Structure 1
Amino acid sequence: MHDDIKKAVEVLKNGGIILYPTDTIWGIGCDATDEKAVKRIYDIKKREDSKSMLVLMENPALLDRYVDEVPEVAWDLVEISTTPLTVIYPGAKNLAANLIADDGSIGIRFTKEDFTRQLLQRFRRPIVSTSANISGEKSPDFFDAISEEIKDAVDYVVEFRQEDRSSSKPSSIIKLRPGGQIDILRK
């Protein structure tokens, strides 16, 4: 795992794209502050850039660096969540402009999974996390279900957990609106 993290961090620092296991499903990722790398992910996925992607972070204490104003309820949601939860926050900042939704929001998930947590700690910036599939196709349940087209398009494929067949599913998604209103987008 250590070598995988070291290689992945090197690729990310050089503006590259990685294919990696997350706390939910396998994802395609890059430096969330690098507009060119984010554009490459949209191209790889054949996805419209109007459909925003989320970012992974390992520490809620860093949230203020990337969101203008964190609604108080957000801290409670992050603290009590026992399963992967993506929260869409208003007022994104300090991220690639093409990663931020038209309404200025950004989806952020705090990972507790060991590999991604260590990767984020070493990289010291948020990482894009989007499912490892072409837009509109089914998200792959396991590494072996990821298309060769995706595998060939990235700069580094993480070896860790390629044999893992544990059941996984995408995160729940909620959107926080100014004033603390919550919309549930995916359970």
Structure 2
Amino acid sequence: MAELIKIYEENPNPKEIEKIVKVLKKGGLIIYPTDTVYGLGCDINNHTALEKIAQIKGIKLENANLSFICENLSNLSEYAKQIDNNTFKILKRNLPGPYTFILHGSNNLPSVFKKKKTVGIRVPNNSICQAIVSKLGNPIVSTSIKDEDEVVEYTTDPELIAEKWDKLVDIVVDGGFGDNVASTVIDLTEGEPEVIREGKGDLTL
């Protein structure tokens, strides 16, 4: 049974954040708000939890395109390499924000992701997920939740999300209604930025 925890973005309750982080560290899965759609996430360092997410998505973990939710730019640079000045300026201008940037992965990636040459990195402009990542001390590996029949309420209303995902996750964080537009995805691996998916946000290059 998933626990539904209400947290206010203006002032995330530290006790509730701590409770969520304890669950993550034990290998639990959470659904939580970002500055775009609600995300399904786990601790980047917990292999069992990563396998659970891959299983839910019906894919092999090594083939999964999962995003890393980071707290800030310095946190991000631990998991991405070859960030030149131009790339750094683009990241700095747009983060935190509703963007997923594809970058070259560094040697700090968990072993299961070592074969992947690139990583998708996010720093959402949402104080709830920033507080969770900050307390956890490392990124959350995340994927956005989608509904097979594209019913808008399922991806935006935390109570309906909790009903649907009740047996699959440990906690659903109710941070209010989510958005129904995913992040804009930008590939920065070839020097020149390439928009892979148009989503939320007004990108500044």
* TM-score class, shorter: 0.7 to 0.9
The answer to whether 1:57 aligns with 2:67 is no
SS of aligned partner of 2:177:
coil
Give the 3 Å change call, closer, same or farther, for CA 176–166 of structure 1 in structure 2.
closer
Q: Is the 8 A contact 1:45 1:133 kept in 2?
A: no
Aligned length: 181
Instruction: Map 1:16-165 to 2 at 5 A.
Output: 16-49=28-61, 50-81=63-94, 83-99=97-113, 103-133=116-146, 138=150, 140-146=155-161, 148-158=163-173, 160-161=174-175, 164-165=176-177
Identify which of 184, 188, 201 aligns with 1:172.
184
Unaligned 5+ segments in structure 1 are none
- The CA distance in 2 between the partners of 1:48 and 1:133, in whole Å, is 18
Task: Compute the displacement of 1:91 (Å).
Answer: 2.7
Please list the CA deviations of residues 105-145 of structure 1 after superposition, one character each: whole Å capped at 9, or x if unmatched: 110011221101111111110001211246x6648133245
Give the 3 Å change call, closer, same or farther, for CA 149–77 of structure 1 in structure 2.
same
- The CA distance in 2 between the partners of 1:118 and 1:185, in whole Å, is 29
The answer to whether 1:185 aligns with 2:196 is yes
TM (normalized to structure 1)?
0.83
Give the 3 Å change call, closer, same or farther, for CA 147–118 of structure 1 in structure 2.
closer
Unaligned 5+ segments in structure 2 are 1-6, 8-12, 199-205
Task: Compute the displacement of 1:48 (Å).
Answer: 4.3
Match of 2:202 in 1: none
Q: Is the 8 A contact 1:111 1:117 kept in 2?
A: yes
Identity percentage of aligned residues: 29
TM (normalized to structure 2)?
0.77
Task: Compute the displacement of 1:94 (Å).
Answer: 2.1
- The CA distance in 2 between the partners of 1:132 and 1:115, in whole Å, is 17
